Amino acid sequence: MVIKTKLTQMLGIRVPVVQGGMQWVGLPVMASAVSNAGGLGILTALTQPSPDALRTAIRETRKSTNKPFGVNITILPAIVPPDYAGYARAAVEEGVRIFETAGSNPGPLIKYLKENGCTVLHKCTTVRHAQTAARLGADVVSIDGFECAGHPGEDDIGGVVLLARAAQELKVPYIASGGFADGRGLAAALALGAEGINMGTRFMATVEAPIHQAIKDKIVASTERDTTHIFRTLHNTARVYKNAVAQQVVAIEKKGNAKFEDVRDLVSGARGRKVYELGDPDIGIWTAGICIGLIKDIPTCEELLKTIESNAEEVISRLQTLRVEKSKL
């Protein structure tokens, strides 16, 4: 059995699984491995230092796969914002036609991408934001529940309710994000009305993930209790791995009246990048979702997606056996 959804048809992929855009992880080796395995691999634009570097990454990815892949562009609050338009233009000029967008005020970016014939998946943490993204032209919305790595928003709504609300309210297809790592999760997402799932943390624990083996091993050894939230008091909540640095940030916030300047050095991107490069899980902040508790091995991307696909099919087949004919009166 092949799982066929609006997402697989729209993107030309075999398995309804999207690799989320992950800073320092969404590199050509990661994106091409996921795409070759049947999912949608994603290059993370802001991992590249410039639009021209993104061009090079796109060309490198094409050398490793002839399957569809996309580019993530996340709009972040910054005093000096990155050249978002430049990244988008570079990717479009290189022939990319699938984009994952995220962050605030995506209107101008979505408008440009749609004018150039692109398919846009926009990540949202609330149904109201998803409705806005759809009005702005997003073809698919990715609904991020409270379980997700990174920024879950400030409403603290878990995926089960959030996805069911999306089914009630949305007119565009949506995929489920946050807490998904296996075939059982894919089947559950489909039952809740989603057309597929978005996975980030799970893809970090794969052979091809471009991070240190020690971090992959740490993920496997961890449980669902090993993440925490930072920036709660700054109203910019982020779920990260519960290490010494994260706990220090939380302690500073608990003192009250904390400002970003008080934790800036602790949460710097440079320190976070060293986690993946050096394999020291306590050297900086790194994102992880609570699905970390479901991860028990480090397969190749091909092995992972085949397992997810077959396990989801088993769950769907089992559910079909629960149907019984009404007894004749």
Half-sphere exposure of 226 (CA within 13 A, CB side): 19
- How far apart are the C-alpha atoms of 41 and 146, rounded to whole Å? 23
Checking if the pLDDT of 329 tops 60, the result is: no
| SS3 state at 28 | helix
| SS3 state at 229 | strand
Within 267-322, residue ranges assigned H as helices are 269-278, 301-320
Residue 70, H or E segment = strand 69-75
| Amino acid in position 299 | P
Give 197-226 pLDDT, tens digit per residue. 999 999 999 999 999 999 999 999 999 999
| Amino acid in position 91 | A
Hey, what are 197's tokens?
């799932």
Asked whether the whole model's pTM tops 0.85, one would answer yes
What does the pLDDT read at residue 1? 66
Structural domains of the chain sorted by starting position, each given as residue range(s) with its CATH number in brackets: 6-210+299-320 (3.20.20.70), 213-278 (no CATH)
What does the pLDDT read at residue 327? 64
The answer to whether the beta carbons of residues 178 and 160 sit under 8 Å apart is no
**CA quadruple 296, 300, 301, 306: dihedral positive or negative?**
negative
Distances, alpha carbon 117 to alpha carbons 92, 106, 137, 201, 267, in Å: 9, 17, 11, 30, 37
DSSP 8-state assignment for residue 118: -
| SS3 state at 27 | coil
Q: What is the mean pLDDT of the chain?
A: 96
Distances, alpha carbon 193 to alpha carbons 167, 172, 184, 212, in Å: 6, 11, 15, 36
| Amino acid in position 140 | V
DSSP 8-state assignment for residue 11: H
Give the Cβ contact number of residue 52 at 10 Å.
12
Checking if the pLDDT of 291 tops 70, the result is: yes
Hey, what are 273's tokens?
């990048």
Give 65-119 pLDDT, tens digit per residue. 999 999 999 998 777 899 999 999 999 999 999 999 999 889 999 999 999 999 9
Mean pLDDT, residues 260-286: 95
Mean pLDDT, residues 299-320: 97
- How far apart are the C-alpha atoms of 183 and 196, rounded to whole Å? 11
Beta bridge partners of 175: 142
Query: The sheet that has 98-103: what strands, in order across it?
Result: 17-19, 197-199, 174-177, 140-144, 119-124, 98-103, 69-75, 41-44
What does the pLDDT read at residue 325? 73
Between 78 and 294, the more confident residue is: 294
User: 122-126, 265-269, 323-327 — which is least confidently predicted?
Assistant: 323-327
Q: State the pLDDT confidence band at 255, using cuts at 50, 70 and 90.
A: very high
User: 5-14, 27-36, 174-183, 261-270 — which is least confidently predicted?
Assistant: 261-270
Mean pLDDT, residues 167-177: 98
The answer to whether the beta carbons of residues 112 and 166 sit under 8 Å apart is no
What does the pLDDT read at residue 104? 86
Token look-up 């489909």 returns 190
